[in-house]
Amino acid sequence: MFDVLTVLQLYWSFLKIGITSFGGMSMIPLITSEMMGHGWMEASEISDIVAIAEMTPGPLGLNCATFAGLKAAGIVGACAANLGVLTPSFTLAILAAIFFAKFKESTIMQRILVGVRPSCIAMVIGVIFTLSMSNYVTDAGISPVAVIISIVDIALLRFAKLGIPTVIIISAVIGIVVYGVAGF
């Protein structure tokens, strides 16, 4: 059984978190404040939830909402917390879809999109560059092992048609063997 007031408070708390944070780690202080402020959890439990949320697939905020809601009010609490954290995103996505549908034929909108597309591509290239620098470049230069693992990953995805989780596990095993066992 669940307490209706707790479920409503979970929805409201995670709605505030969804509105005021930008996802990821920026949500943790807000989650901590809300969980401890309502007495739903202690600091050590929040730390455990964040660790579990980081390890599970999906967005950190949504995972934290699921675990926190489950702890505070069971399945119904988890649903309420998830709806709360997702409401701002859903609302903005719906409004954007309505806006784009209404103005998709507008010349001004077409010109705006012509400017936005290269910006988005530039941001993706920037992220690729940043991740490449942290994953492939060491103090000794470019890591040949990391490059080989990437080539193997691409081959497994493209030609062997393995799923992404399987390729991640294979890459982890290769990394552990090469860097941990072999001491490369």
Report pTM.
0.60
Nearest to 175 by CA among 151, 145, 152, 132: 145
Q: Where are the domains of the chain?
A: 4-103, 107-181
Helices (H) and strands (E) in the chain, counts: 7, 2
Over the stretch 18-39, which tens digit does the pLDDT of each residue have? 998 877 778 888 889 999 999 9
Q: Determine the angle formed by the axes of helices 60-103 and 107-136, rounding to 10 degrees.
A: 150
Residue 58 DSSP one-character state: S
Over the stretch 36-54, which tens digit does the pLDDT of each residue have? 999 998 888 888 888 888 8
- Please say whether the beta carbons of 73 and 12 come within 8 A: no
Tell me: pLDDT of 181 over 80.
no
What are the CA-CA distances from residue 113 to residues 8, 24, 117, 119 (Å)?
40, 27, 6, 10
